[in-house]
């Protein structure tokens, strides 16, 4: 174990760690209580911007600024992080009049940011401040201001931005979400922006992994026990759908349903055994939604149906989600 001049015990160290976490929780609570129409107005301004969104800050606020720019990009909103110090050494050329400039500074007095805001406003760009003081120079200079809560950083005798950084990132995420909502961003649009990684896999449409045609277990409404059991066994999904003469899904029968009805299964038709109003998806829905439904309803398979007619188009099984690596 590393020597410690303060001779702190494990419990003492954990107490310090918990203080940091508690401070972050309190900062988020204060942020939640302070949300108002200024956030909505800022989101609408960003959503209406025809240029790019430039986000800037220094130190830990710069990290929060990078996160906001990256989140906006992931939601289909063109955004770029602009280092305030670099801007003062030539990168001011990145700002155009059609852009919107977001300046982040907890104190609201970061010297490098103020001339960048002035330049942006000279070009006609809209400016938004994210700061903890409405009286700070940055707030006074920008067109709009989003206020961060004044909070204990949780750093004890050390001086380091901690809770305020968490609150800044959370406010940025809330802002980005509202911007995407105002712009009508769709999950299908996000899928094109996330072709790789776990998120990319979840945003693929279920049509890419579903079984279709003769692989889909289906029986007619009048099917008897022999036909039901044969279809479940042959197709290997542990389930069969019950359809009408047009192929519309009426219900489902699982191997568990067969066991529960086994004693009186003879003489019954599929409609008497089936579970009505099964959970379904359309081919346009994504794999992430399929995963949520399978987990939420504790089922192993989902039928894919036409959005308008309810006709069965395919089936997705739990094993399919495992195969593509989303479970």
Provide the whole-model pTM: 0.69
Interacting residues of 55 by C-beta distance below 8 A, sequence separation 6+: 65, 66, 68, 69, 72, 79, 80, 81, 82, 101, 102, 104
Mean pLDDT of 154-169: 88
Q: What is the pLDDT of residue 1?
A: 44
- pLDDT-derived band at 240, boundaries 50, 70, 90: very high
Name the pLDDT band for 108 (thresholds 50, 70, 90). Answer: very high
For helices 163-183 and 10-34, give the axis angle rounded to 10 degrees: 40
Q: Two tokens at 186?
A: 């769709």
Domains in the chain, please, with CATH?
A: 10-185 (3.40.50.10490), 206-323 (3.10.580.10)
Residue 171, helix vs strand vs coil:
helix
Region 28-57 average pLDDT: 96
Mean model confidence pLDDT for the chain: 88
pLDDT of residue 261: 77
Which tens digit of pLDDT belongs to each residue from 167-204?
999 999 999 999 989 988 655 555 555 454 555 555 67
Among 43, 49, 40, 54, CA closest to 120: 54
Report the distance separating Cα 150 and Cα 301, nearest Å: 49
């Amino acid at each position: 174990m590393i020597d410690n001049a303060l001779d702190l015990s494990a419990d003492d160290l954990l107490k310090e760690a918990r203080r940091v976490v508690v401070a972050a929780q309190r900062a988020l609570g204060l942020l939640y209580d302070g949300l108002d129409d200024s956030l909505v107005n800022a989101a609408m301004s960003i959503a209406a911007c025809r240029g790019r969104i430039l986000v800037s800050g220094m130190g830990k606020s710069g990290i929060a600024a990078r996160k906001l720019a990256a989140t906006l990009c992931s939601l289909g909103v063109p955004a770029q992080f602009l280092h305030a110090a670099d801007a003062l050494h030539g990168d001011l050329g990145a700002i155009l009049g059609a852009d919107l400039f977001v300046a982040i500074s907890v104190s609201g007095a970061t010297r490098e940011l103020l001339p960048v805001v002035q330049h942006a406003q000279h070009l006609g760009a809209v400016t938004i401040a994210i700061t903890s003081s409405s009286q700070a120079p940055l707030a006074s200079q920008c067109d709009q201001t989003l206020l961060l809560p004044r909070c204990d950083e949780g750093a004890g005798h050390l001086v380091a931005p901690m809770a305020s950084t968490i609150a800044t990132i959370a406010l940025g995420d809330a802002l980005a979400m509202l911007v995407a909502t105002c712009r009508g961003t769709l999950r299908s649009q996000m899928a094109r922006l996330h072709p790789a990684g776990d998120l990319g896999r979840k945003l693929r449409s279920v049509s890419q992994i579903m079984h279709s045609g003769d692989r889909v277990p289906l029986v007619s409404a009048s099917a008897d026990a022999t036909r039901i059991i044969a279809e479940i066994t042959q197709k290997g999904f542990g389930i069969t759908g019950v359809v009408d003469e047009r192929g519309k899904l009426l219900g489902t029968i699982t191997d568990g349903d067969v066991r529960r009805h086994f004693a009186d299964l003879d003489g019954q038709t599929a409609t008497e055994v089936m579970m009505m109003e099964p959970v379904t998806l359309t081919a346009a829905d994504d794999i992430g939604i399929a995963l949520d439904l399978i987990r939420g309803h504790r089922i192993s398979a989902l039928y894919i149906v036409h959005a308008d007619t309810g006709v069965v188009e395919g089936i997705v099984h739990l094993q399919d989600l495992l195969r593509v690596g989303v479970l």
